Amino acid sequence: MEMCNGRDLTKFLEAKGGFMNEEDARFVLIQIIRGVAAMHERDIMHRDLKTDNIMVHFPNLSYKELFDKRFDLMKFVSSQDVASGYQVKLADLGLARKIEVNSMTETYCGTPMYMAPEVARGDFYDNTADIWSIGCIFYFLLVGFLPFTANSHF
């Protein structure tokens, strides 16, 4: 399995102060969309897209630097911007599912605060439910909190 040296997107955002400027958020969003599009082209739904399931990788950060006891990853992350060329990669495909073309599923799964309404209701859904989750992620990147909050998903 490929190592991503920058931890997950949630931790990345924490190091950046909790949110991103529009340019950085677009940079991340484009990479997420490309990854999801590659899955959808193969008729695979992720079904649990969230910042915890998106990994950050710094191709120019060597393993020697990363494992140096004096190296502070969070300080390094906070100094990175679009120009540094970091990458984001989709992870945790444990709930991913291949679906047949023009078919739907109804399994209740995912993380409620990123979950499309049709999934939360227990209705049939298709890979467009992943698009809802991407919208929630983009909102979170820009403002530092999710668009919907509740004590319960009902």
User: 9-93+103-143: CATH homologous superfamily?
Assistant: Transferase(Phosphotransferase) domain 1 (1.10.510.10)
> 48 catalytic, yes or no?
yes
pTM of this prediction? Answer: 0.84
* Domain residue ranges in the chain: 9-93+103-143
Residue with tokens 């799964």: 109
Catalytic residue among 8, 43, 48, 52: 48
Residue with tokens 């502070």: 72
d(CA 2, CA 88): 12
Average pLDDT of 134-152? Answer: 87
Which pLDDT tens digit goes with each residue over 12-70? 999 889 999 999 999 999 999 999 999 899 888 888 899 999 999 999 888 888 889 99
- pLDDT value, residue 32: 96
- pLDDT value, residue 136: 94
d(CA 7, CA 54): 9
d(CA 129, CA 120): 10
